[in-house]
Amino acid sequence: MDKLLKFIILMDTKTSIAYGSIRIFLGIALAIRGWMIVSNPEVILELGVTRDLFMWVSIAGIVHLLGGILLCIGSFTRLGAFIQIPILFNVIFFVYEHTQLMMGGQSLELATLVLFLLCIFFIFGAGPLSIRDYFNQKKISL
**pLDDT, tens digit, 9 for 90 and up, residues 22-49:** 999 999 999 999 999 889 877 777 766 6
CA 46 to mean position of chain CA atoms: 25
Higher pLDDT, 48 or 129: 129
Q: How confident is the model at residue 7, as a pLDDT?
A: 79
pTM of the model: 0.81
Q: How confident is the model at residue 12, as a pLDDT?
A: 76
Buried/exposed code over 5-27 (b: 16+ C-beta within 10 A; e: otherwise): eeeeeeeeeeeeeebbebbbebb
In tens, the pLDDT along 76-124 reads 999 999 999 999 998 888 776 666 555 555 578 888 999 999 999 999 9
